[in-house]
Amino acid sequence: VSEHHDLDHLFDRLFPILRSITGPGYKESLAILGEAMPLTVESVPSGTRVFDWTVPPEWHLTGARLTGPDGQVYADAARSSLEVLNFSTGIDAELELDDLEPHLHSIPALPDAVPYVTSYYRDDWGFCLPDAVRQSMPREGRYHAKIDAEHRPGTLDIGSTVLPGESSAEILLTTYLCHPSLANNELSGPLVMTALHHRLERRRRRFTYRFVVNPETIGSLCYLRLHADELQRNLVTGLVLTCLGGPEPKLSYQRSRRGDSLLDRHVTDLADVRIREFTPLDGSDERQYCSPGFNLPVGQLARTIYGQYDGYHNSRDTKAFMTIDALIDAVNQIDDLLLSLENAARYRNLAPYGEPHLSSRGLYPTKNSPTNRDHSSDGRVDQRRFLDDVLMVLCYSDGMETMADIARRCGCTVRELAPAIDALEEAGLLAFAEEGGGR
Amino acid sequence: VSEHHDLDHLFDRLFPILRSITGPGYKESLAILGEAMPLTVESVPSGTRVFDWTVPPEWHLTGARLTGPDGQVYADAARSSLEVLNFSTGIDAELELDDLEPHLHSIPALPDAVPYVTSYYRDDWGFCLPDAVRQSMPREGRYHAKIDAEHRPGTLDIGSTVLPGESSAEILLTTYLCHPSLANNELSGPLVMTALHHRLERRRRRFTYRFVVNPETIGSLCYLRLHADELQRNLVTGLVLTCLGGPEPKLSYQRSRRGDSLLDRHVTDLADVRIREFTPLDGSDERQYCSPGFNLPVGQLARTIYGQYDGYHNSRDTKAFMTIDALIDAVNQIDDLLLSLENAARYRNLAPYGEPHLSSRGLYPTKNSPTNRDHSSDGRVDQRRFLDDVLMVLCYSDGMETMADIARRCGCTVRELAPAIDALEEAGLLAFAEEGGGR
Amino acid sequence: VSEHHDLDHLFDRLFPILRSITGPGYKESLAILGEAMPLTVESVPSGTRVFDWTVPPEWHLTGARLTGPDGQVYADAARSSLEVLNFSTGIDAELELDDLEPHLHSIPALPDAVPYVTSYYRDDWGFCLPDAVRQSMPREGRYHAKIDAEHRPGTLDIGSTVLPGESSAEILLTTYLCHPSLANNELSGPLVMTALHHRLERRRRRFTYRFVVNPETIGSLCYLRLHADELQRNLVTGLVLTCLGGPEPKLSYQRSRRGDSLLDRHVTDLADVRIREFTPLDGSDERQYCSPGFNLPVGQLARTIYGQYDGYHNSRDTKAFMTIDALIDAVNQIDDLLLSLENAARYRNLAPYGEPHLSSRGLYPTKNSPTNRDHSSDGRVDQRRFLDDVLMVLCYSDGMETMADIARRCGCTVRELAPAIDALEEAGLLAFAEEGGGR
């Protein structure tokens, strides 16, 4: 209930802000997110060379309005942050509709929707508006296009925080915050991230968890510029969180480019999700994490995916479509998946030479006798079944096989092996052995 | 015939002895076995730490009898070595049936059988008896439980011997001797081992053969403590010999944990055996050899397997069930399998740069002519077929492929390739190339 | 047309010459071939030890005639170079038919054909003749067998040339010239080689191309003696060219022994050819290149294969059977295959950290908008499809995957990816990355 309230409130504060990949709207949004979870901000100066890219200047917009010859206001950034071309240059001109046309953006197929259009890397100005409105604009007379915008040197900003775990092996959770006034794509990712942080903070963590929020693409490239070495060393699995609201009941996992990470291999053993293979043709920041020079084990979790709903990148993408309930359901599913992933990892038998002497540790019947060794009899609470799990876990925990592999050998889930894992850890016979480095 | 007589005689001497994992019964049995094959004895002192285990003291039992209030003797180790709990502590007490019950062992489902029960690592005393007898015991009056037993410092003893071969690459044959008065499980293993030693001693050996007999589990752990390095270096394949008598017509091979040894890969090409996959849940000393720290290529050969016959671990397991004929049949099958395994191994072409000049060695027709190259014509004695075998063996004997792989390419058995292998060895063009180290 | 004329003329000059693995006939033929393409000649002295072989002396034949008691000439090397046993020793003797018989060679199943028979490594003399003629020879009287032949120290000669490409990674094209007066097997190989050289000389070459012509078997062994190190270092794929004439419509590719070369893996993606697996039981010089010590990625290209037509190794193998048109068709097919192989190779993304900034290079739309991302719409000229190809090529060109692998991911041919490959090479974002060494 409190989680629902918190997310709802956070949504309402963030939604109206005019964000872009840089500038005051993005900075304000990051500060608000920092109230919900601790975020360290790293800033990269405009003009910094980042791999094949250059960090753009800050975008400062103080107003954007398109007024018709009839005095009517056809677009106004004060009404909705979508109504100005994102990252637009400034303009103050009177011009005919014909000359205005190349600077207008609408969606004929969705006549009531204002599209979300950007122009980061080519100087341009423009307005976005519903196609129905566009069709009604008078052909005669002069329009007044006025955009008060400046591109100034400043910084691109990234927020991040780490929850340390028992192992330095790391799970990355990352999302992006640059989109203005869009709900599913993309306030859903940042909101789900705050709730996951809140939960993970409070439970045992075998893995270390790293949370990152940035402007899409150029932001993740900057983060890689600063932290790729650590990620190469420690990362076991990464998840780009995106489009986690909407009506689809199941989450959908897109594998990493390498396709062999712990999660890539076992996700369908651990959760009831749909699967997409990696593609460089669309998607989000996983395209940077998975580029061939990095090739990090970063997948993507989504629900109602970009491009697969009417409201994608336009004004129909609101809280009514996304719903806070859908976000909380996503938080539940991801939390469960991460718990299972901790059980599914590699462990190491600490007494691997011969079988450990189980009876001296209370883990073995002290008399041999013609007992029933049929595993299928009494369910998993059965004492023999527990012993079998102990023997299987010890035998195959060589630091190579994952516990999910062992569970497959046992014909059970990793959660069902948890009692044996816990008992062996307590007895000092087993240790978590994930070390990161990409598998 | 002589083999049958020898095994039968050896069986009758060994069967009645009261053996355990340590003590005079085991030592006497090892000495008798040492008359049938040369055995070097290695002794590990009681109390020695062996990996996660500790070598137990010697068990000295001079008598064990349970007398009823009616004067009747309900259990007596002098009558059968099974009637006392194996490794029992001493006791001399008068007690009611209710207090005696926890110390009695019987099998309700087999009312006439005396079970084999042990308590090596928890101090306990007890008697084993037929359930029919147990049901007839008077409820009133006091019983006299008298066990004269001591646990004294001494040694645990292992017998072994090596038959050197042309290569240091090694085959391990191992079995265990601790069970008292049980035939299939386990006098069958030691008896088959003596006969195999006798045969292998007399034939050409490409492999070196190592024979080991020990008390089960703790004995193989001690042997690994002393010899694991050599085994890691030289072992190509190991076989735990167990349960080799009984009515099952075919032998059964259990793969090693790694599953990729020469024998694991090719056993079904070489012999008509049933196959079991490795499991840590039951079995014998292969559980120690295959534990993840060693992961040695040790499988198990059996016929009528533990747990799969009524007489398993009770007094029904006698020579009448096991039969000497079944043991001799096992010796024949294992001897054949080992011969084939020598042919199935890796060999190396000693003139691998280009094709060797076969005609100067009498291995090639000196004129080219439009001869029939159809391989399927005249059977394998055909001269062209011999040349084909020579060419195939030379082409693929790169020290990586096994001869069994090459036989598969040729569509024949490794035994059918033997003439080509022998001719090429004689011509100095081919050498046995197994080097151990686990594959 | 000119190509047809050139090959036809070359054929007519080479066909009648009495060639063997050494001697003046071979030297003259190599000189004639050297007029059609530049050939550097390397000579290995007779008696040189070459791996397990010894270079034979030169064979000098000045005449060979078998005259009957009836005065009739039954064989005469001046009539056809096939009528003397190739590499025959000298003889001048009068003898009965019975003593002559072991020195006569004919084919009962093809009574009008003169067989091609050799005896390089065992001293022997002999004549070859049609079986119909042989059956007509008078049984009575003495025959005069006169062969003026000498085996003199000299050299074995190999011709070769290299067309350098952008990469040092190399394609080997090799054939053999020792057969006398036979068309398909073997003037087809040398003739096709000259035409391929002529074409490759005139086009862009990413690979370096090496052309080698030698006497079969001992010649390729000598070439390996001199150049195996270079081949080990640079060779990507080799092709033995043999039997490229005759009526079969499709070429046939025999994989290399290793079976994993660039061409082995992708040949059926690149051309419509039949496939044969490697075998050491027949074939040509690939048996030496693929012997286990070298194990080079050398396959074989043929059309109407040795042993699969009546005229194999006899006087029926003429230009009428082989046809120049069939050779030109083979040249076309091989030229196409080599072009595709250049596209099919490994390339490397030169900006692999993150996605390259495509818009600054004119390779990306500068505005995001709800465009149609359906790849199946407008065929491959479509702008989005081009961008998709660019993204796929960049994403997977990690120096491990081949472009043929990437084409399979894209569901297209490597030739269809050529525009994207070329654009990326021009933009400095992609480089050919084949390095030889056998894969």
Query: pLDDT of A233-280, one tens digit each?
Result: 999 999 999 999 999 999 999 999 999 999 999 999 999 999 999 999
Q: Both tokens of residue C131?
A: 């079986």
Portion of chain B with pLDDT greater than 90, in percent: 90
Q: Which residue of C has its CA nearest to A295?
A: C353
User: Residue A224 — φ and ψ, nearest 5°?
Assistant: -65, -40
Answer yes or no: do B293 and A352 touch at CB < 8 A.
Answer: yes
Residue B437 has what pLDDT?
66
- Judged by CB atoms closer than 8 Å, whether chains meet at B291 and A353 is answered as yes
Q: Contact B293/A396, CB-based, under 8 Å? A: no
For residue A329, what is the DSSP state? H
Inter-axis angle of helices C414-426 and C383-396, to 10 degrees? 80
Q: How far apart are the first and last CA of chain C?
A: 38
Q: What single-letter amino acid sits at C279?
A: T
Helix (H) or strand (E) holding B253: strand B252-254
C359 chain-A contacts, CB cut-off 8 A: 121-122
Mark yes or no for CB contact B356/C281 under 8 Å: no
Separation of alpha carbons A165 and A12, rounded Å:
33
Q: Compare all CA atoms of chain A with the CA of B306 and give the residue at the minimum distance.
A: A370
Quick check: A373 and B224 CB within 8 A?
Answer: no
Complex ipTM, two decimals?
Answer: 0.91
Mean pLDDT of A84-107: 97
Taking the CA atoms of B30, B32, B37 and B39 in sequence, report the sign of the dihedral they define.
positive
The number of C-alpha atoms within 13 Å of C355 and in the hemisphere containing its C-beta is 29
Closest CB to B121: pick one of A360, A392, A394.
Answer: A360
Q: Is A265 helix (H, G, I), strand (E, B) or coil?
A: helix
Are residues A280 and C392, on separate chains, in Cβ contact within 8 Å?
yes
Query: Per the CB < 8 Å rule, is C355 touching A280?
Result: yes
Are C224 and B353 within 8 A, CB to CB? yes
**Euclidean distance between CA atoms A287 and C357, whole angstroms:** 13
CA pair distance A17, A30, nearest whole angstrom = 11
- pLDDT tens digits along C31-75: 999 999 999 999 999 999 999 999 999 999 999 999 999 999 999
- Strands B143-152 and B58-67 come out as antiparallel
Closest residue to B288, CB basis, from A354, A368, A396: A354
Q: Are A271 and A251 in contact (CB under 8 A)?
A: yes
User: B361, B427 in Cβ contact below 8 A?
Assistant: yes
Beta-carbon-side half-sphere exposure of residue B393 (alpha carbons within 13 Å): 31
Q: Provide the pLDDT for residue A365.
A: 56
Mean pLDDT of chain B, nearest integer: 93
| Contact present, B340 and B273 (Cβ < 8 Å) | no
C354–A291 CB contact, under 8 Å: yes
Say what the pLDDT of residue A360 is.
Answer: 87
Helix (H) or strand (E) holding B300: strand B298-302
Tell me which chain C residue has its CA closest to the CA of residue A307. C370
pLDDT 10s digits, C230-256: 999 999 999 999 999 999 999 999 999
Q: Would you state the pLDDT for residue C372?
A: 36
What's the whole-number mean pLDDT along residues C113-137? 96
Query: Residue B298's beta-bridge partner residues?
Result: B238
Alpha helices by DSSP H, A208-323:
218-234, 262-270, 286-289, 319-322
In this complex, which of B119, B282, B291 lies closest to A366 when CB atoms are compared? B119
Of A360, A368, A395, the CB nearest to B118: A368
**Subunits in contact with chain B (3 or more CB pairs closer than 8 Å):** A, C
Residue B222 amino acid letter: C
Q: Tell me the HSE value of C36 on the side-chain side, using a 13 A CA sphere.
A: 28
- β-strands C49-50, C53-54 pairing: antiparallel
Structure token digits, residue A172: 């990355």
Tell me the C-alpha distance between A186 and A433, whole Å: 36
Q: Which residues of chain B does C221 touch, with a Cβ-Cβ cutoff of 8 Å?
A: 354
d(CA C214, CA C284): 12
Q: Give the residue on B whose Cα is nearest the Cα of C54.
A: B357
Helix or strand holding residue C94 (H, E): strand C91-95
In sequence order, what E strands does C336-403 have?
Answer: 346-349, 398-402
DSSP string of B62-98? Answer: EEEEEE-TTS-EEEETTT-GGGB-BTPPPEEEEE-HH
Mark yes or no for CB contact C354/A307 under 8 Å: no
In this structure, are residues B41 and B158 in contact, taking their beta carbons and an 8 Å threshold? yes
Phi, psi of B67 (to 5 degrees): -110, 140
For residue B124, the chain A residues in CB contact (below 8 A) are 366-367
Q: CA-CA distance, A382 to A376, in Å (whole number)?
A: 10
C322: confidence class by pLDDT, cuts 50, 70, 90? very high
CA dihedral C410, C413, C414, C419 (to 10 degrees): -80
Q: Do B295 and A398 make contact, defined as CB atoms within 8 angstroms?
A: yes
What SS3 class is residue A23?
Answer: coil
In terms of DSSP bridges, do strands A58-67 and A73-76 run parallel, antiparallel, or are they unpaired?
antiparallel
Supply the mean pLDDT for chain A: 93
CB contact under 8 A, A367 and B122: yes
- Select the residue of C366, C367, C395 nearest A280 (Cβ to Cβ): C395
Is the distance from CB of A129 to CB of A87 less than 8 angstroms? no
From the list B354, B366, B370, the residue facing C107 with the nearest CB is B370
CA A347 – CA A337 distance, rounded (Å): 18
* List of chain B residues whose C-beta atoms are within 8 Å of the C-beta of residue A395: 257, 280, 290-292
The answer, yes or no, to whether residue B375 has pLDDT greater than 50, is no
What is the distance in angstroms between the Cα of A280 and the nearest Cα belonging to chain C? 6
Dump the DSSP string for C33-66.
Answer: HHHHS--EEEEEETT-EETTEEPPPEEEEEEEEE
CB C231 within 8 Å of CB C47: no
Report CB contact under 8 Å: A391, B107: no
What is the Cα–Cα distance from C128 to C143, expressed in whole angstroms?
A: 15
In sequence order, which ranges of A114-241 are alpha helices (DSSP H)? 131-135, 188-200, 218-234
Q: Please write the tens of the pLDDT for every residue from B90-103.
A: 999 999 999 999 99
Would you state the pLDDT for residue B363? 86
The residue that leads in pLDDT, B435 or C388, is: C388
Nearest to B354 among C54, C118, C291 (CB): C291
Question: Which of the four pLDDT bands, split at 50, 70 and 90, describes residue C374?
Answer: very low
B365: confidence class by pLDDT, cuts 50, 70, 90: low
CA distances from C314 to A189, B268, C83, C192, C319 (A): 78, 47, 10, 21, 13
Which partners does chain C have (≥3 C-beta pairs < 8 Å)?
A, B
pLDDT of the residue at A439:
46
Mean pLDDT of C414-418: 93
Going by C-alpha positions, the residue among B413, C413, C357 that lies closest to residue A122 is C357
List the structure tokens of C142: 């003495």
| CB-based contact A208:A171 (threshold 8 Å) | yes
Taking CB atoms and an 8 Å limit, are A355 and B291 in contact across chains? yes
DSSP H helices in B347-413: 383-396, 403-410
Q: Contact, C213 vs C175, CB < 8 A?
A: yes
Angle at CA of residue A408, ends A403 and A414, nearest 5°: 45
pLDDT at A370: 39
- The CA distance from B414 to B403, in Å, is 7
CA-wise closest residue to B153 among B27, B55, B51: B55
Average pLDDT score, chain C: 93
A187, with CB counted inside 10 A (0-12, 13-18, 19+), is: buried
Q: Is residue C59 a contact partner of residue C22, using CB atoms and an 8 Å limit?
A: yes
Chains in contact with A, counting 3 or more C-beta pairs less than 8 Å apart as contact: B, C
**Are residues B51 and A351, on separate chains, in Cβ contact within 8 Å?**
yes
Q: Is residue A380 scored above 60 in pLDDT?
A: no
CA dist A185 and B214 (Å) reads 69
- Separation between Cα atoms, residue A85 and residue B322, nearest integer Å: 90
Tell whether the model's pLDDT for residue B366 goes beyond 50.
no
Chain C residues touching B368 at Cβ < 8 A: 117-118, 313
The answer to whether B97 and B89 are in contact (CB under 8 A) is no
Q: Is C157 left (phi over 0), alpha (psi -120 to 50) or beta?
A: beta
Q: Which residues pair with B200 in a beta bridge?
A: none
The predicted pLDDT at position A376 comes to 39
CA Rg value for chain B: 26
Here the tokens at position B176 are 């265990």
> In the structure encoding, which two tokens stand for residue A388, read together?
């079998």
- Residues 6 or more apart whose CB falls under 8 angstroms from that of B182 comprise B82, B116, B313, B317
| Whole-number pLDDT of residue C376 | 40
pLDDT at C439: 46
Q: Which tokens go with C21?
A: 């693995």
Chain A residues lying within 8 Å of B115, measured CB to CB: 369-370
Nearest C-alpha of chain B: how many angstroms from C397? 31
Q: Which tens digit of pLDDT belongs to each residue from C155-187?
A: 999 999 999 999 999 999 999 999 999 999 999
Please state, in angstroms and rounded to a whole number, the distance separating the CA atoms of residues C299 and B364: 24
How would residue C307 be classed by pLDDT, with cut points 50, 70 and 90?
confident
Confirm if B65 and B90 have CB atoms less than 8 A apart: no
Partner-chain contact B373 C282, CB within 8 Å: yes
From the list B351, B354, B366, which residue is nearest C288 (CB)? B354
Q: Which residues of B touch C (CB under 8 A)?
A: 349, 351-357, 359-360, 366-370, 373, 388, 391-392, 394-398
Candidates C351, C352, C391; nearest CB to A280: C391
